[in-house]
């Protein structure tokens, strides 16, 4: 029957923030703050280490990650196990649909409340082995409390080397935990450490054979059921996209609905998918192609007056010896007259004029 001394620090002993949840397996004796006997609080001894870590440090409590506010109308809470499908979804949805993952704040009954998305949020609890101060004969029970402002009070005390360990079985210090059920505005938990007292406990309450193995008292939900619940409260497009790539040896994700790779989906905070409609194709605008036009000649300078077109007078040739008629190849072109002139000369007339005898031409 080994006794392992608890130590201030051990593997897995770091605490953060968290809230309330029910996470223990059925049949595990636990300190129930809803019982009438504990309505004014429960005074307990925190017991020693139930195992040692790799360095030989005594582990005497365990921090449990919890997901709560999971669901739509009916909210659930459960302990988060390794490779939890809802954790996988939560890690992806904030990138793909940040509006869907927003935490809303509403006013109800004149006070502000937070409304979490359908996949919930995460928080933390701490579990200990503990025994009632006045009923030690009942043996070890599991104490399940929120980490924030409750378990953290114990943690802070025991991290101070100037203070004695609360759960040294040779000098155990009583601790009173009280849950004020009506306190909804602040922290409902009160933790009182009666540091002016210490008691020697029976060795059995320090023996690991009499303590609960805190690694084996937490109940985890079935992953397949979590997947189906997640699918039922999530738009198909978003479920398919966020769960793409998830794998686990015990469950298989079946995809349905629209393409999980679609990029044209927008999700608002109302947990409903709103698909953006593709724009309606518009007919091409009718364009009239103009006919080609002749290029106008450059305009004349403003000071230039176009000369009047007139008939060119044919001057009489100088009297001289007429050359021999050796053909018509070297004859000059006939005078050119304006088109449509009624006095234009024909080619034959021009030739006859040029062939006149010189004498007659002089006459």
Phi and psi at 276, nearest 5°, equal: -75, 130
pLDDT tens-digit readout, 204-261? 999 999 999 999 999 999 999 999 999 999 999 999 999 999 988 777 776 766 544 4
Sequence spans of domains, the chain = 36-222
pLDDT tens-digit readout, 29-40? 999 998 888 988
CA neighbours within 13 Å on the CB side: how many for 199? 17
pLDDT mean across residues, the chain: 76
Decide: helix, strand or coil at residue 294: coil
pLDDT at 279: 45
Classify the phi-psi angles of 257: left when phi > 0, otherwise alpha if psi is within -120 to 50, otherwise beta.
Answer: left
Q: Architecture of 36-222 per CATH?
A: Alpha-Beta Complex (3.90)
Q: Which residues pair with 45 in a beta bridge?
A: 131
pLDDT at 276: 35
Q: How far apart are CA 58 and CA 160, in angstroms?
A: 17
DSSP string of 126-170, one letter each residue: EEEEEEESS-GGG--EEEEEEIIIIIHHHHHHHH-TTS--TT-TT
pLDDT at 348: 56
Min mean pLDDT across 20-34, 76-90, 203-217, 278-292 is at: 278-292
With CA atoms as reference, report the closest residue to 122 among 148, 98, 155, 158.
148
Q: Tokens 């079946």 map to which residue?
A: 254
Count Cβ atoms below 10 Å from residue 106 Cβ, excluding itself. 9
Pairwise pLDDT comparison (358 vs 289), residue with the higher score: 358
Which ranges of the chain does DSSP label H, i.e. alpha helix?
85-96, 152-159, 223-232, 236-243, 347-354, 358-362
Question: Given a cut of 60, is residue 293 above it in pLDDT?
Answer: no
pLDDT at 306: 38
Q: Is the pTM of this model over 0.75?
A: no
Sign of CA dihedral 351, 356, 361, 363: negative
pLDDT tens-digit readout, 180-201? 876 556 788 999 999 999 999 9
With CA atoms as reference, report the closest residue to 145 among 260, 41, 56, 301.
41
Q: Tokens 């994700």 map to which residue?
A: 253
The pLDDT confidence band at residue 268, using thresholds 50, 70 and 90, is: low
pLDDT tens-digit readout, 102-158? 999 888 878 888 899 999 999 999 999 999 999 999 999 999 999 999 999 999 999
CA 18 to chain centre: 24
């Amino acid at each position: 029957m080994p006794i392992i001394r608890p130590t201030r620090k051990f593997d897995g002993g770091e605490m953060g923030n968290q809230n309330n949840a029910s996470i223990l397996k059925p049949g595990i004796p636990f300190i129930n703050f809803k019982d009438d006997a504990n309505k004014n609080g429960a005074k307990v001894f925190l017991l020693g280490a139930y195992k040692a870590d790799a360095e030989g440090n005594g582990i005497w409590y365990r921090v449990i990650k919890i997901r709560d506010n999971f669901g739509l109308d009916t909210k659930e809470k459960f302990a988060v196990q390794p490779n939890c499908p809802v954790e996988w979804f939560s890690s992806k949805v904030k990138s793909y649909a940040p509006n869907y993952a927003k935490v809303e704040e509403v006013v109800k009954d004149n006070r502000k409340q937070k409304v979490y998305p359908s996949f919930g949020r995460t928080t933390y609890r701490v579990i200990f082995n503990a025994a009632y101060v006045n009923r030690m004969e009942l043996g070890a029970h599991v104490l399940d409390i929120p980490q924030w402002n409750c378990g953290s009070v114990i943690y802070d005390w025991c991290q101070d080397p100037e203070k004695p360990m609360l759960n040294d079985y040779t000098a155990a210090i009583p601790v009173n935990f009280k849950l004020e059920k009506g306190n909804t505005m602040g922290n409902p938990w009160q933790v009182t450490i009666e540091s002016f007292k210490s008691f020697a406990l029976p060795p059995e309450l320090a023996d690991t054979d009499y303590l609960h193995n805190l690694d084996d008292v937490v109940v985890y939900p079935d992953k397949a059921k979590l997947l189906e619940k997640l699918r039922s409260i999530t738009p198909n497009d978003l479920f398919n996209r966020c769960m793409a790539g998830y794998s686990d040896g015990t469950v298989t994700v079946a995809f349905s609905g629209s393409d999980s790779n679609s990029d044209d989906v927008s999700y608002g905070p109302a947990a409903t998918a709103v698909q953006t409609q593709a724009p309606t194709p518009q007919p091409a605008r009718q364009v009239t192609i103009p006919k080609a036009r002749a290029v106008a000649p450059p305009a004349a300078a403003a000071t230039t007056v176009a000369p009047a077109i007139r008939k060119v007078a044919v001057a009489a040739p100088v009297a001289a010896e007429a050359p021999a008629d050796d053909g018509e190849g070297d004859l000059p072109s006939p005078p050119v007259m304006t088109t449509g002139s009624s006095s234009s000369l024909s080619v034959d007339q021009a030739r006859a004029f040029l062939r006149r005898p010189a004498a007659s031409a002089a006459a």
